[in-house]
Copies of this chain bind each other. A is one copy, B any other.
């Protein structure tokens, strides 16, 4: 069940999706964190951030919208508050990071990348660049490169670039990340979306738009993983609506080396463990020795 993302070793391919699992302690009463391949925590920026007003989430058909707005304690706040918690666990820690400027990305990388307890940084590029008038790092390949270059320059810790899904050709971004020295990719972030209350004529989210996640987007995510996997040699962590072992295996067959369970944690906190156990059983039943033997085995 062991997989590797750069030098990060995971004892099984299953992590949790950033933002759906808090900073670690929140679900620790429900599942043994050490059974996960890695814990991925919510996005951290260099400074503390308040995030969006409420309402911040809204349920949709087989999915949900979120516009939490990346509130968080900042890099140093995270270290002070949560790194000690992880001392009790052996599970690898992936910290999701973001910034409003390229310098922000560099700064948070320097701080968190030098923490021994941090096994990898997952770089969320679905953020507007305040300096460039709101252009999104994740959908403009030139801006995208500047971020990956900056993050790479500031750390030797493995970096996983989390691609934005709302692009015409994800292969360009996958390749750019690989060229800039990324150790892995995460595919996909939630998809830009919106819901409106027709009685009040107000968007259901305070932020107006948010990201769609859950089973609704799984077929989109599988396609993006499949495409990205064809474009690069670095490993991919696939996510988007994973609820069952079969869902996870679908991403693996499509080309993902690891998978992340996101929205499913809300539906059932034991989802990730069920996925791990189920993959193990499936591999045994199908006489597949290593999960790595399944990666990208989809037939033409």
A209 at the interface (CB under 8 A from B): yes
A246 at the interface (CB under 8 A from B): yes
Q: How big is chain A's contact interface, by range?
A: 35 or more
Interface flags for A230-269 (1: CB within 8 Å of B; 0: not) read 0000000000010000100110011000000000000000
Contacts known (A196-B298, A226-B194); A219 close to B63, Cβ less than 8 A: yes
A246 to B196 CA separation, bound complex (whole angstroms)? 10
Which of B139, B196, B253 lies in contact with A168, CB distance below 8 A? B139
Contacts known (A62-B61, A62-B216); A209 close to B223, Cβ less than 8 A: yes
* A-B contacts, 26 listed (Cβ < 8 Å): A61-B218, A62-B63, A63-B219, A140-B168, A166-B168, A167-B167, A167-B168, A168-B168, A191-B220, A192-B220, A193-B219, A193-B223, A194-B219, A194-B223, A194-B254, A195-B218, A195-B219, A195-B250, A196-B254, A198-B253, A200-B299, A202-B299, A209-B223, A212-B219, A212-B220, A216-B217
Q: How far is the CB of A254 from chain B (nearest CB, A)?
A: 6
Contacts known (A166-B166, A203-B298, A298-B201); A250 close to B196, Cβ less than 8 A: yes
Interface of A: prevailing SS: mixed
Contact yes or no, B254 A63, CB < 8 A: no
Taking the full assembly, how many copies of this chain does it contain?
Answer: 2
A43 to B223 CA separation, bound complex (whole angstroms)? 24
Contact yes or no, B202 A298, CB < 8 A: yes
- Set of chain B residues within 8 Å of A209, measured between Cβ atoms: 223, 226
* Most central of A60, A209, A246 by chain B CB within 10 Å: A60
- Set of chain B residues within 8 Å of A196, measured between Cβ atoms: 222, 226, 250, 253-254, 298
